[in-house]
Chains A and B, each alone.
Chain A
Amino acid sequence: MKYSGLAVLREALRGHTGWKPAWRDATPAPEYDVVIIGGGGHGLATAFYLARHHHVGRIAVVEKSWLGSGSIGRNTTIIRSNYLLPGNIPFYELSMKLWEGLEQEVNYNAMVSQRGVYNIFHSDAQRDAYARRGNAMRLHGVDAQLLDRATLRAKIPYLDYENARFPIQGALLQARGGTVRHDAVAWGYARAADRLGVDIIQNCEVTGITRQNGSVTGIETTRGFIGAKKLGLAVAGASSLVASMAGLRLPIESHALQAFVTEALKPLIDNVITFGAGHFYISQSDKGGLVFGGDLDGYNSYAARGNLPTIEDVCEGGMALMPMIGRARLVRHWGGIMDMTMDGSPIIDKTPVENLYLNAGWCYGGFKATPASGFCFAHLIAQNTTHEVAGAYRLDRFAEGRLIDEKGVGAQPNLH
């Protein structure tokens, strides 16, 4: 059934008896033309764009838990394309354009809200670094504005302009940046992919990748063997674990990142704001909770939770930037597992194993990348060639030294 205001009205009048499951709970077929491991945002988006734009035959998405149980439902919902380096900007801008048409494309309201992303700067050097970034964005046709202190203050009056340890000097603004309701992205892609015939197989954990003559033939799972002519990995924090089933070592470490939400408040913060003198960024959800986050906990982890030092550090950053939030109460904090690469940028590439494709290394920027990641990964799997905007996301760039290191911190994943 197509979702619309009219459909809601019609169902309301007949007691909502007509709604069908948003997607079928598929049982695995013996073989598929393409199997995507990972029923998160990237995997579901990949399946959707494969089914929508490419003729690849039967497609399945295999998820070890419930659909959307990983980072797609644990992030802080921010979308933006305010990147610095030429390897990144076109990709994230494609993602932004796909976000802008997402709801109509998948017929699901994911509440894409382009409310503006402000990166606050606190020194001349930081201003110049943001100018470099803003200019790079403009050269790529992406919107960017550099705001001085007075302009920023007029737009966002409640920051600590008077007593800050690191005085606020201005901000880089991407007005098209914003937020999206994260779970709805997974559900929207899942429903749309399902309607195009994709089998979404939940509670099906992959235990092995079978190969013959250096080429993938299928996967062993907790629900039996599933044949696959082509196999795509989109398993984020578990990338190294799943890739190792095919004998691959990756330039990735898995790290915990925490996220936070407060009790619901009436509208208070209208934009996405990132602090430049500490690790803190914040927005307010449509329900009213202040959603915020900060830095990685900093150590390898497969436990989706963090510890107090980071929690305190993040809240200190928040109070330093906007001391009005002191009486707002933290209602929940949680963690996700990030696939941190050695240069802080992702990988969408073929692997040394024939017909095995890798989508990984999203660090903590995976959510905003979801549509373009799926779009480009689908392109790669179907065409066997890299999509032009993802051309820099090669697996061999590490060995070759063609790194995409936005922060300039080198091969130290916890610093990206």
Chain B
Amino acid sequence: MSAYRLPTGGLIDRAQPLHFRFDGKAYQGYAGDTLASALLANGVRLMGRSFKYHRPRGVLSAGSEEPNALVELRSGAHREPNTRATVAELFEGLTATSQNRYPSLKYDILAINGLFSPFFTAGFYYKTFMWPASFWEKLYEPAIRRAAGLGRSAAVPDPDVYEKSTIFCDVLVIGGGVAGLEAARAASATGGRVILCDEGPLLGGQALNDGAEVDLSGLENVTLLTRTTVFGVYDGGTYGAVTRLTDHLPSANAPRQRMLRIIAPRSILAAGAIERPLIFGNNDLPGVMLAGAVRAYIHRYAVAPGRRALLALNHDDAAATITALAGAGIAIAGVIDARPASSNFVQSLAAQMGAPLFSGARILRALGRLEVSGAEVLQRDGATLNLPCDLIAMSGGCNPTLHLTSHLDGKPVWDERIASFIPGKLPPGMQAIGACAGERINRNILPVWSSGRAGGKEFVDFQNDVTAADITLAEQEGFVAVEHLKRYTTLGMATDQGKTANVNAIALMAAASGQSIPQAGTTRFRPPYTPVALGALAGGHRGQQFKPRRLTPTHAWAAAQGATFIETGLWLRAQYFPRPGEDWQEATRREVHAVRNAVGICDVTTLGKIDIQGPGAVAFLEFVYSNGWANLAVGRARYGLMLREDGFVMDDGTCARLGETHFVMTTTTANAAKVMQHLEFCHQILRPELDVCCISVTDQWAQIAIAGPESRHVLEKLVDAPFDISNAAFPYMEAASLSVCDGTSARLFRLSFSGELAYELAVPARFGDALASRLMQAGAEFGITPYGTEALGVLRIEKGHPAGPELNGQTTAHDLGMAKLLSGKKDFIGRALAARPALTGPDRSTLVGLTPLDGATLLRAGSHLLKPGVPATAANDEGFITSASYSPTLGHPIALALLANGPARLGEHIRVYDPVRNGDTLAQVVAPVFYDPSGSRLHA
């Protein structure tokens, strides 16, 4: 039996001893213990060091509000800093390490900060460390950063797995204490779907701590989620919660935590109340505890938190501690009741248990170095008295746990009757009951906010080391508003978010500034209620699962060909198809040559495909494209330019007319979803009178480009008779529905991105893979070559086609040399604002081509353009390169660029300036179409 373990009682399982280590030393506890209760049972009271002064700290509470007993739990990659020992369930083999101390918990060098504490008052750092300026980063800040912070992150990837779930109910009950259980029972009886969440492993709440029976009947149809903290209230009856699935186990092949989005039109908050400390000197010494925590350790964990106790209170609720102490065989050195006339209740309990009662008295300060050894008590008659003890149980009353009520717009309101804030305006659908509504707490309370400075630091915010004196100083310096106070002193900003501190602090500020408490302000809380691991909030979305991966219909085929893939938005596309020994450049050059001289195929499924049907289709296209569509014949396709309403270019693509009222539009890969949304907007909002329907068919059709002078010969072998794809019958920009490969329905478009004779053939997506194989077979005799996005990019730059880098949302039709595509005869999206002079002026940067003067130096996209010989300054900046590559066809590097007044400058020399990559070379300005400017190859 451990030194402080009570021989009987408690909710621990004495048949299940558990072994654990704290700071390397081995201990034993039982199933049902927390790390804190097990340490207390072993007589360990020093568990941590405070943030600023590195003062020795023990356990203040027995719950999630704990500010002091923070440890690093587990080790290695599983190390979890700042874990509250009071809620860490004990498991076999648990290891924990104290934090924020060096070299050891008992002898912490930085405890010297306590000696210098007269300098380290609230906000001292704002007043100094200013000279010389450069010393901040070099000297002061690193020292401050090292001293600050609490636990150490493992600094390696989190090895655990997390998951998420969305669940629905009619009523969500938050808090599994007696009030919550009763509410859940009642709600369930009406037949609704009820979810009850409690942060602890056991239901019963405060009853567990008081040793009372818990009635769990009538909950058969309630979804009971223990170890589940509802951490936030969000709009529309949405609650954020996290369930700790395996944190209480030594190890598990299962997710560590699950984040829940709980959708509940109604909720019942039954979160109880949190006790507040009394303010007196050295009230942070190990051995000074909240009275309710003392009862919890005795009743729930069968631990005597001390041998000789002092109980300080100012209301009746805490008097139950007298019985608890006596029952545990702990001597009571005194009951210090701040009320001049103690209630009969306290008087009779004290008398019954033989505890000396000091009415109208208060503790001035606790005595002791690493733990409590006594207290200096100011008696009603003004005399002081030293009472030896090793435990001080204190209660300044309770604060309703109303945090969730203020997550939306609710402002807690002061209730003078119980000297506490109670919930104000509640989130829609929420009801608060029990202690968190201020019911049956703080009976006969006489609020006491300060001991009156009798020496020793009087802590208000234990974790952040904010003292009563800091609050006075903040008031003196004008930081009176509650938010100023918090920000200036860091009060309430620690891991516990001021759960035990905020109300005391507001009361002290009210006193210092001569205001009432409601005048001084209120306390509002931000989510989360208790800290939530980022891993849980991210769930499974990390690593390769960060975003979905879209694969093209030919992905498996391309992989079999040895393709290297590249991320294109969510898509993975074949980047190039290296042969043995080839690097990416060699492969790309070979692929480009194949397209220019024979034939290549490339999966272009990723381009957005939108099916547009209806009698209003032509009028609709006229509206969304800047160029004209009225005269496009059935069976023909056309290039289309789409603007935003502000007149800038949004997207481009082709659109083919497959029938009188049937079109199929393509968009760029990047803008597929955006264009779909835009079309629906244009139709549903702007032109609802048009009888037209749009639907995305991107995923329904596999589309493969067959490009190169031999492409027709390849296709002839696939197209089913009697369809004729001769140049005469199926010329450039023709489109048709047909069948291929003996009866597979398909769509054929004679489009070219490469500038060669080329087609795009679409088949139902499930046939994409087979089509690629068939094309390869059919093209074998012509040297058919699969090509990837690298070659695709080179081919389009050679041809001067704008793509993503040119359609960057900052360019206009004028800039891209497409001003002639702005129809003057119709209303279209962007028409009016595209006509503004600023969008068409000659000073704008306009698309040109560049070739290096030396014929060899690679040009790089992102380089800026300057007149040769002028200083490299912003004033001389004339544009930049948008796209660049080596042209295998021309045998030298080429680039597309946006150059001020570009078309007027063909033939000029320009400096290509790329200081971030040490580039600086000269180029000649040329027309943007490097290859086959007459377009003869397209029509071949």
Contacts and interface: CB of A to CB of B under 8 A. Distances in A.
Do A's and B's CB atoms come within 8 Å in the complex?
yes
A20 B475 CA distance: 10
A112 B126 CA distance: 11
Interface in B874-912: 874, 876-877, 880
Contacts of B476: 16, 19-21
A139 B150 contact: no
B238 A3 contact: no
A130 interface: yes
B381 interface: no
Contacts of B695: none
B868 interface: no
B234 A307 contact: yes
Interface stretch (B4-12, B38-46, B136-144, B280-288): B136-144
B154 A113 contact: no
Interface size bracket, B side: 35 or more
B934 interface: no
Interface in B253-295: 259, 261
Interface string A37-69: 000000000000000000000000000001111
A308 to B, nearest CB: 5
A324 interface: yes
Contacts of A401: 646-647, 833, 836-839
A138 interface: yes
Given A166-B567, A268-B155, A287-B149, A330 B880 contact: no
Tell which of A69, A125, A266, A411 has the most Cβ of chain B within 10 Å: A266
Contacts of A181: 126
Contacts of B804: 125
Interface string A126-154: 01111111111011110011100000000
B149 A264 contact: yes
B137 A86 contact: no
A209 interface: no
A53 to B, nearest CB: 20
A178 B529 CA distance: 30
Interface in B465-516: 469, 473, 476-479, 481, 483-484, 487-488, 490, 493-495, 497
State which size class the interface on A falls in.
35 or more
A165 B545 contact: yes
A374 to B, nearest CB: 19
A90 B839 CA distance: 23
Interface stretch (B190-198, B535-543, B600-608, B738-746): B535-543
Contact of B528 (A172, A333, A409): A333
A319 B533 contact: no
A315 B257 CA distance: 15
A377 interface: no
Interface stretch (B156-164, B334-342, B369-377, B775-783): B156-164
B345 interface: no
A320 B837 CA distance: 44
B133 A104 contact: yes
A220 interface: no
A266 B146 contact: yes
A130 B880 CA distance: 12
Contacts of A319: 158, 534-535, 538, 541-542, 546
A94 B873 CA distance: 16
A89 B809 contact: no
A4 interface: yes
A410 B534 contact: no
A199 interface: no
Nearest to A313: B541
A4 B129 CA distance: 8
B51 A305 contact: no
A297 to B, nearest CB: 10
A25 interface: yes
A139 B873 contact: yes
B153 A287 contact: no
Given A109-B130, A315-B534, A316-B542, A411 B235 contact: no
Contacts of A104: 130-131, 133
A214 B124 CA distance: 48
Nearest to A343: B646
B128 A4 contact: yes
B377 to A, nearest CB: 26
Nearest to A134: B916
Given A288-B149, A407-B809, A325 B129 contact: no
A324 B133 contact: no
B365 interface: no
Contact of A128 (B81, B118, B532, B860): B860
A164 interface: yes
A279 B723 CA distance: 50
Most buried by A among B130, B487, B650: B130
Contacts of B51: 264
A91 to B, nearest CB: 12
A249 interface: no
A303 B149 contact: no
Contacts of B567: 122-123, 165-167
B408 interface: yes
Interface string B107-130: 000000000001101001111111
Contacts of A13: 118
A385 interface: no
Given A66-B481, A131-B914, A303-B409, A158 B155 contact: yes
Contact of B532 (A164, A278, A329): A329
**Most chain B beta carbons < 10 A, residue from A164, A262, A407:** A262
Contact of B810 (A110, A112, A342, A405): A405
B75 interface: no
Contact of B916 (A135, A187, A400): A135
Contacts of B862: 127-135
A14 B339 CA distance: 35
A128 B916 CA distance: 11
Given A320-B542, A326-B162, A146 B157 contact: no
B766 interface: no
A327 B535 contact: yes
Given A265-B151, A324-B153, A408-B810, A131 B861 contact: yes
Interface in A199-244: 202
Contacts of A167: 567
Given A312-B539, A316-B538, A408-B808, A21 B145 contact: no
A171 to B, nearest CB: 11
A320 B157 CA distance: 10
B544 interface: yes
Contacts of A320: 538, 541-543, 546
Given A144-B916, A305-B408, A324-B156, A329 B136 contact: no
Interface string A256-267: 000000111111
A89 B126 CA distance: 30
Residue from A107, A122, A410 whose CB has the most chain B CB atoms within 10 Å: A410
Contacts of B880: 132, 135-136
Contacts of B534: 262, 315, 318-319, 325-330
Which 7 residue pairs are nearest across A and B when measured between Cβ atoms? A408-B809, A326-B158, A131-B862, A288-B149, A326-B535, A21-B478, A329-B531
Given A125-B805, A323-B542, A326-B157, 11 more contacts: A4-B130, A8-B124, A23-B478, A86-B874, A104-B131, A125-B804, A264-B149, A264-B150, A312-B541, A326-B162, A332-B527
20 contacts: A8-B124, A69-B483, A73-B483, A86-B874, A109-B127, A128-B805, A136-B864, A136-B877, A140-B874, A202-B481, A267-B146, A311-B240, A324-B158, A326-B538, A328-B153, A329-B495, A400-B837, A401-B839, A408-B810, A410-B644
Interface of A: 3-5, 7-9, 12-13, 15-16, 19-23, 25, 66-69, 73, 86, 89-90, 100-101, 103-104, 107-115, 122-123, 125, 127-136, 138-141, 144-146, 158, 160, 163-167, 172, 181, 183-184, 187-188, 202, 262-268, 277-278, 284, 286-288, 303, 305, 307-308, 311-312, 315-320, 323-334, 342, 400-403, 405, 407-411
